[in-house]
Amino acid sequence: MVFQVERLSMLRALHDHPEFSEKFMALLVARNIDLEEDLCDQLFDQSERRLARVLLKLARLRKYEVVPDVTRPTLSHETLAEMVGTTRSRITHFMNKFRKMGLIDYKGEYL
């Protein structure tokens, strides 16, 4: 879910509620760390590792969904390839490798 909060309301909440402020700042720091790690992955790591990282993030997102009954969009190998920065055929190769290793369980070309 995405919410839009007015700037003054957010500043007031951060000022008036120290516990909320701490949690919000921790979230921002964690998000920044994730973005930096993603950038490093894109620049320096192999595509197999980037795919594993994307799959782990997707699994975490689905684990903590606020509304569990929402229909999830399916991700094709082409979409994963765009996310990872490689080709669809490489994604298919890695997904088959992950499945043979018992790391993932899915049927067909979509997650």
- The continuous run of DSSP H or E covering 40 comes out as helix 18-44
Provide the 10 A C-beta neighbour count for residue 78: 13
Q: Name the CA radius of gyration of the chain, rounded.
A: 18
User: What is the reported pLDDT for 72?
Assistant: 65
DSSP 8-state secondary structure symbol assigned to residue 35:
H
**Gap between the Cα atoms of 90 and 87, Å rounded:** 5
- The two structure tokens encoding residue 92: 């298919």
Q: Which residues, 6 or more positions from 14, have their beta carbon under 8 angstroms from its beta carbon?
A: 20, 21, 24
Q: Does domain 46-111 have CATH number 3.40.630.30?
A: no
* In the chain, domain spans: 7-44, 46-111
Give, for all 111 residues of the chain, the pLDDT tens digit: 678 999 999 999 999 999 999 999 999 998 988 888 887 777 777 889 889 888 888 887 776 665 555 666 678 999 999 999 999 999 999 999 999 988 888 765 445
Q: Residue 56's closest CA among 83, 82, 32?
A: 83
**Gap between the Cα atoms of 73 and 59, Å rounded:** 13
pTM: 0.60
